[in-house]
Chains A and B, each alone.
Chain A
Amino acid sequence: MAWYRRFWNVLRPGRMQSDLQRELSFHVAERAEELQDGGMSEEEAVRTARRQFGNYTAQVERTRDMDIYGWLESFVRNLRHAARGLGKTPAFTATVVLTLALGIGANSAVFSAIYAVLLRPLPFPESDQLVKLAQSHPKIPQPFVAPVRLEEWNRLNNTFQAITGHYTEDASELSGELPEKLKLALVAPRFLQVWGIAPALGRDFSPQEERFGGPNAVLISDRLWRRRFGGNPDAVGKTLRIGRLAYPIIGVMPASFLFPDRDVDLWSPSPMDAPYAQSRESTWFTAIGRLKPGVTLAQARANLASVQANLGREYPKTDAMIGAMIEPLKEATVGGVRRSLLILFGSVSLLLLIACTNIAALLLSRAAAREHEISVRFSLGASRASVVAQLLTEVLVVSLAGAALGLMVAAGASRVFRSLAKDLPRIEEIGLDWRIVLYALACAIAATLLCGIFPAIRGSRRNLAGSLAQAGRWQVSRYNRVQFALVGVQVALAVTLLAGAGLLLRSFQELGRVSPGFDPEHVLTFHISSSWGETADQKAARQRVDRILDGLRSVPGIESAANALSLPGVPAQYQIELKTTEGRAESEPKMLAQGRWVTPAYFATIRIPVVAGELCRDESNTNTTMVNRSFANAYLAGSAAIGRHLVQPANAYLPPGEIRGIVGDARETGLDREPPPTVYWCAGSNQPGTYFLVRTHGEPRSMAETIRRKIHELEPRRSVYDLTPLRDHISDAYAENRLRTILLTFFAMTAVSLACVGVHGTLSYLVNLRQREVALRLALGAVRTQVVRQFLAQGLRVSVLGCMAGVVLAVALGRLLSGMLYGVSTSDTATLGGVVAIVLAVSAFASLLPAMRAARLEPMQLLREE
């Protein structure tokens, strides 16, 4: 029967029935008339026709049975039965619903994150055409592209619709009462064209505005528009004062447009024909391109490679070694968190599996307890299918209740997600929508089948049910072997999860124990707004930074003040190749090191000791450097390094720097990495985004207001922002790590508790089933401790087997965590041993309770009941 017809019938069941009744009564009427013609009285004719027709109501029902309506009716009946049955055992129902709510909720929450971050396309039209481009160089990592080259790539390729680029700086907006720090994205031409997004209000940049010396123009974010202009469309045409210049607002971007990142409030053109943008060597654009429709990544790579090869021939000095790299934009955005998210998803799926196993075991006990009821139903003529259907309906009811509750859990969980991992890409896109609801429903149905089908089939075995109806009271059912196997599986999965969590926790602990080589306590960091334009006058910029630092040092409560381009302990790499002007033997290894730009006071501020030589000085005429011990030992035979001159071949503008001293090794590139060889250029940085660091006597946060006022006094046109203790920056850098650890630990704890509930429940059931046997034995003189030992052993045997399986599984799956661990191996014996000990201890406790109960049975009372 076609499904739509059934569906139609469901929608109009009344119509279907009355049609049928009309048809059948017509038949009876015709028959009666015929009989009457044959000489019967009217009354008798009708009665005979009726009788001949057979059971009238049965006809109606048999005909109707063909459609879904009848099926639905029995479904509703099953639902009613299920609700009644579940209502009678509230403890069972609550356990199952809560277990499922937790399992489905955690699963849906992680799925909502996976869906938003990994699966959903980026929020741009035809977003799979968007790619990120970068220059590549065999020696020097270059994430950026030079403006000239960007324009050439855009002009000479034939696989891209357009290529654009952007970079950001922090700007002080001065039209309000106080300077406000805003993040400004400077964008190459074709920016909006590449994204495929039009301003929600106003217009795109005009060609004049994209030219050097052309009129200023700025697009503002939806957020700024609402905050500053109250969402008034009049904002377009108003003027913002950024630094010394006035920028007319030409439009407002849609709220969903969060690129280059979610903090950007202003977009303004960066002229590609500016004199300072003509160098082939200075790179600053992050380049984004949009492929032509149907062009594959490989074609684009080949095309751009040949474009760049031609440029290499034209400008051999600068371009010969440079290549072009292309990566899908989505991959560039979310690729880094894929593994973390998938591991979390794997663990919540294990959790759901444990929950299902647990429920399956509970249902088996329940089915056993209901053997009598089921055998009665069989003897009254129920078909096996209908018994299975009824048992499954019961599970479906609890699953759906669990899923509904789980969705609430998921809604709460996505909030936790946001607060724990602020820096997760695309986090603002995570939320509950109908897809997540569908997913939870699918989980519920899968859970129903997973937990329900096996107990239902077992429970509805006709012969078993029949025989047990007579003999059941004295027989230990064969169910419990299966149940124990299920409990063993739960223990094994719980051990696996706990081992994963244990490894992450241990590595977190190791990380905390690391001595970083610097002191991150009592250090406050902040930015002071400045623009790239100001870097043109190096001397003035330098004087400004010195003035600020001197001013800060004069503030009581501040021990020292320094500035640095990057923060210590926050993972960042800036690998450079160095040479000494004194020359080295060709056979010696290449000098590769991390380059850092700091003022001399940096070392005192974060307490990196000078171990040899003297502290460098920031002098405007000569360039001085410090190196760390690893660098000196690796490349320059220790203290012989002092007095030599370092140059950076890739940076021709940088004069040779004399090594003045050697400092201790510090884990500047991240607490989880060994200190790499490092060169410190002793020159303050005056780029936008430079960090200022001050060491305070007391709690660093308490100095924030003082510092703000001091800077306002020194530099009234600049804003101070992002005042954060160094400690917080470092822990934020490990936020993803922390999220992973917290969540996995939470899941593992839940898994262990579920497994214990499983052990306890199954053993309790067994005790119930065997209480007469135990009573008999006690009556015949068995010692109570023996009884305890027997049940305890039974519980522990399952746990031990489960633990063994779990350890094997944990070691096998441990590979997935490699690279996320610090200081522990994936098969760390201490961790695995600890996990096994915990699980065994808890499961022993869970087994002890029912075992004690068995031993406390009163034999005479029980036996008298027989």
Chain B
Amino acid sequence: MGAKKNDILQGTLALLVLKTLSSGRRMHGYAITAHIQSVSDQLLRVEEGSLYPALHRMEQDGWVRAEWGKTEKNREARFYSLTAKGRKQLMQEEESWARLTEGVARVIRYA
């Protein structure tokens, strides 16, 4: 993969996916990558190879729900949406992310 684009830090993919789905819309995997890329202004790039295993794991943990549906272009796709459990998980992940970035910022500033 290109070195110009930031590969997503391990462990944050779940956070990004959950956050993306938190708008309440049902999205398929491709839309999720596209959304993350566009919102992050092309700074973040989701590697497809990690996305689908992650989505399946989240589904099996009960954070997201998946169902088959049709896109606007009438293609078959698997749509994901957030569950209540996933919403709770998102809150936790956001909090721990905030702590992590704050910690890292402090180290950079003072060390």
Query: What is the interface of chain A, defined by CB distance below 8 A to chain B?
Result: 1-2, 5, 19-20, 22-24, 26-27, 29-31, 52-55, 58-59, 62-63, 66
Contacts and interface: CB of A to CB of B under 8 A. Distances in A.
Contact of B52 (A2, A5, A29, A59): A59
B75 A29 contact: yes
Nearest to A26: B77
B74 to A, nearest CB: 12
A62 B53 contact: yes
B interface SS class: helix
Contact of A27 (B30, B56, B60, B61): B30
Interface of B: 28-30, 47-49, 52-53, 56-57, 60-61, 75-78
Contacts of B48: 27, 52-54, 59
Given A30-B30, A53-B48, A23 B77 contact: yes
B51 to A, nearest CB: 8
A26 B52 contact: no
Nearest to B47: A54
A52 B47 CA distance: 9
5 contacts: A23-B29, A23-B78, A24-B52, A27-B52, A53-B49
B56 A26 contact: no
A59 B47 CA distance: 11
A27 B78 CA distance: 10
Contact of B57 (A23, A24, A66): A66
Contact of B30 (A20, A31, A54): A31
Contacts of B75: 26, 29-30
Given A5-B60, A26-B77, A59 B30 contact: no
A570 to B, nearest CB: 70
Contacts of A53: 48-49
A interface SS class: helix
Central interface residue in A23, A29, A59, by most chain B CB within 10 Å: A23
Contact of A26 (B47, B49, B53, B76): B76
Nearest to A31: B30
B28 A26 contact: yes
B49 A58 contact: yes
Nearest to A34: B34
Contacts of B28: 26
A2 B75 CA distance: 31
B90 to A, nearest CB: 20
Nearest to A19: B78
Contacts of B60: 1-2, 5, 66
A1 B56 CA distance: 10
Contact of A66 (B30, B53, B77): B53
A63 B77 contact: no
A125 B78 CA distance: 57
**Pairs of residues from A and B, 3 with the lowest C-beta to C-beta distance, nearest first:** A30-B30, A54-B49, A23-B78
A22 B70 CA distance: 13
Contacts of B53: 59, 62-63, 66
Central interface residue in A1, A27, A54, A58, by most chain B CB within 10 Å: A27
B47 A23 contact: no
Nearest to B73: A33
Given A1-B61, A22-B76, A26-B75, A66 B52 contact: no
Nearest to A29: B75
A63 B49 CA distance: 9
Contacts of B52: 20, 23-24, 27, 59, 63
B10 to A, nearest CB: 15
A29 B30 CA distance: 10
B76 A62 contact: no
Nearest to B29: A27
A58 B48 CA distance: 12
A5 to B, nearest CB: 6
A1 B75 CA distance: 30
Contacts of A29: 75
A16 to B, nearest CB: 10
B55 to A, nearest CB: 9
A778 B79 CA distance: 79
B68 to A, nearest CB: 8
A26 B77 CA distance: 6
Nearest to A55: B49
A501 to B, nearest CB: 57
Contacts of B61: 1
A572 B28 CA distance: 86
A58 B47 CA distance: 14
B30 to A, nearest CB: 4
A19 B28 CA distance: 14
